[in-house]
Amino acid sequence: MAYLYIKSLHIIFVVSWFAGLFYMPRLLVYHTEANARPDAERAILFQQFIKMEGLLFRAIMVPAMWLTLLTGTAMLYLMPDWLSQGWMHIKLTFVLGLVGYHLYTRRLLYEVKAGRFRFSSFQLRLWNEVATVFLFAIVFLVILKSTVQWLWGVGGLVLFAVIIMSAVRIARNRREKKQN
């Protein structure tokens, strides 16, 4: 019974973490686009975005990440046989990649806070979709757990990533046409 409570908490924390992982790059997109505003407006927006980004990172993303990792570890403790299964090794590799994504997003946040905008809003929109790819990969691995199904899942994941990247590019082109 303890396992089900921990699993429920794990799912809640994963959802919270991903909410932050999806929203932070979007805020960075808006923050970057605010640089095109007149000076007075840009200064106000800069301070507001710094406040929102910092609060999102410190109050939601960091605690949710740690609680996700803690409850995930607790589930592995209660189900140690999973550590001998290939799908779990792949899943843990993706989770490690997700932590790397989280930490790199933090780096982007600190750069923007320091006034360094090295990525365009389009590049940040693409970065925003990386979390979606991680989400799909992890969920399909947990549900399917099969090597053959995993191979089909990877193929689908690659196709999904191409579709998302194409959709972002199409949306950008439409936005640019409306502005001209």
pLDDT band for position 168 (50/70/90)? Answer: confident
166: containing domain: 2-179
Q: What is the mean pLDDT of residues 5-27?
A: 97
Any known ligand binding at 91? yes
CA torsion sign for 140, 143, 146, 149 is negative
Q: Is the pLDDT of residue 157 over 80?
A: no
CB atoms within 10 A of CB 172: 15
pTM equals 0.83
Q: Is 118 helix (H, G, I), strand (E, B) or coil?
A: coil
Task: Please tell me the total count of domains within the chain.
Answer: 1
| Total Cβ atoms within 10 A of residue 104 | 12
Residue 17 buriedness (CB in 10 A; 0-12 / 13-18 / 19+): buried
